[in-house]
């Protein structure tokens, strides 16, 4: 008798009707029905989205001279953004630091600066750390505008920027 058994091959046309949706209850992948630990890196999405949405924010200066302060770039993004799923629970992990470049024009003069933002997390009670830097070649008149409308947390560019960051964090938590 022949010791080799014949194996019949059957072509699979696609997923079975019982396969269900791509994600299952608790946010895990379809292949992870047991709910073991799974992690999805979201750093690229966060970097791209923050760079796209935080550039171009503008605060119009409410003085007789007029002018505006605008964000011009998001740079030096460091940290982690991951979504983990385990035992049917989804956790959005986020710990970011980055720099936002800004410029102001008041009348005929302009100046530049940087807002260093750190400790951006998904915890609503934890506000990011903010450090304001003014460019060395910024004229005194523009420095006064920065002191009045960039440095204070209650008015000007900083609350506008922090509100947009919070919107992005909430959007991330919906992923």
Instruction: Note the pLDDT tens digit of each residue in 88-98.
Output: 788 888 999 99
Which pLDDT band, with edges at 50, 70 and 90, does 161 fall under? very high
**Beta strand spans in 36-141 (E):** 38-41, 58-60, 68-86, 89-106, 109-120, 129-134
* pLDDT exceeds 50 at position 17: no
Q: What is the pLDDT of residue 125?
A: 82
Q: What is the pLDDT of residue 89?
A: 82
φ, ψ of residue 109 in degrees (nearest 5): -110, 155
Average pLDDT over residues 50-74: 93
> Residue ranges per domain, the chain?
56-78+98-173
Q: For the chain, what is the mean pLDDT?
A: 83
Tell me the percentage of the chain whose pLDDT exceeds 90.
Answer: 59
- Helices 43-53, 157-173: axis angle to 10 degrees equals 150
């Amino acid at each position: 008798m022949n010791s080799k058994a014949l194996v019949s091959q059957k072509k699979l046309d696609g997923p079975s009707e019982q396969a269900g949706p791509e994600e299952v209850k608790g946010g895990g992948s379809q292949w992870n029905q047991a709910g073991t630990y799974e992690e999805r890196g979201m750093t690229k999405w966060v970097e791209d989205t923050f760079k796209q949405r935080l550039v171009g924010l503008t605060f119009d200066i409410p003085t007789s001279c007029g002018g505006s302060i605008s964000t011009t770039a998001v740079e030096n993004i460091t940290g982690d953004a991951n979504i983990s799923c385990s035992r049917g629970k989804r956790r959005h992990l986020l710990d970011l630091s980055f720099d936002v470049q800004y410029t102001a024009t008041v009348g005929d003069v302009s100046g530049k600066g940087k807002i260093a933002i750190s400790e951006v997390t998904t915890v609503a009670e934890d506000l990011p750390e903010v450090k304001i830097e003014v460019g060395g070649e910024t004229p005194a008149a523009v420095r006064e505008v920065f002191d009045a409308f960039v440095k204070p947390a209650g008015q000007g560019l900083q609350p506008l920027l922090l509100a947009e960051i919070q919107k992005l964090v909430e959007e991330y938590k919906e992923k």
